Amino acid sequence: MNSDSAKPLDIEEPIFSHIPVLPQEVVAGLTIRPGGHYLDATVGGGGHSRLILAAAADVRVTAIDQDEDALVAAKKELSEYGDKVTFISTNFASYEFTPNTYDGILADLGVSSHHLDTADRGFSFRNPASLDMRMDRRQSLTAADIINDWDEKELADIFFKYGEERLSRRIARRIVEKRPFQTTTQLAEAIASCVPRQYRYGRIHPATRVFQALRIVVNDELGVLETFLASSPIALVPGGKIAIISFHSLEDRIVKHTLRESSLLKVLTKKPIVASEEEIAGNVRSRSAKLRIAERRES
């Protein structure tokens, strides 16, 4: 590993955040009932699962996550609930759904604060780190593989499609000229160096959309979301609710159309539920959150 990818010794390892977005809206939307069984398909630090377990008596939760760090944190956060929580290490698209099992299903999509704040995971360019970006570190493909091995057209295409980056061709050209890259900051600096001045000092860092695109491709985020949305409704009991929180337009578009087109579901949210100004002030991550809810039809 390149020496500038090492973590600074004086930075403590961040822990998973337990602050769930849209907490009241999720609990209300799922209509938690006593004795109910709920699936948290992206348990993360366990924040939403804790709210679900506390919302009614004798609630059970099946909590899944593909990230082992998340499961360790969630087990600690939810330890007081004992065998009311079942933990499973898997991607939610790979989970085998059993018909008529859950009174509610929740998926909180996207990258967690923990992933962004943990330098060596490579999701952020705030600190130098290896170009990783794998949610599930058992898989082989990394962001470094894409950046250093894919051709210029492939890079431009993914930056445009998954990052909605309008300077995708220019950025891809510079990356091919300057590679190989070992660290996140090297890549971010190369991107910033090739964009116009007004773009370089705009509202967001010019590498933000490229990093989003890389993360989506490394983890096949949109593909696994489509698989999950297609396969999960059958696992709801009649009248059961599915609640999906997305964080960017590509995800929200898939959620909106898939829920609407499912013959098993009735959409309950004509427009997505968004965070209040009060919540955004206390948790900036909630600013881009959109919650959509649907209900399993009775027949």
Name the binding residues for S-adenosyl-L-methionine: 46-48, 65, 92, 108, 115
Residues 6+ apart with CB under 8 A from 106: 26, 30, 38, 39, 40, 41, 42, 48, 52, 242, 243, 244, 245
Residues 53/59, Cβ–Cβ less than 8 Å: yes
Residue whose C-alpha is closest to residue 14's, from 80, 91, 69: 69
Query: Max Cα separation, the chain?
Result: 60
Omega before residue 128 within 30° of 0, cis: no
Q: How far is it, in rounded angstroms, from Cα 67 to Cα 137?
A: 7
SS3 state of residue 179: coil
Binding-site residues:
46-48, 65, 92, 108, 115
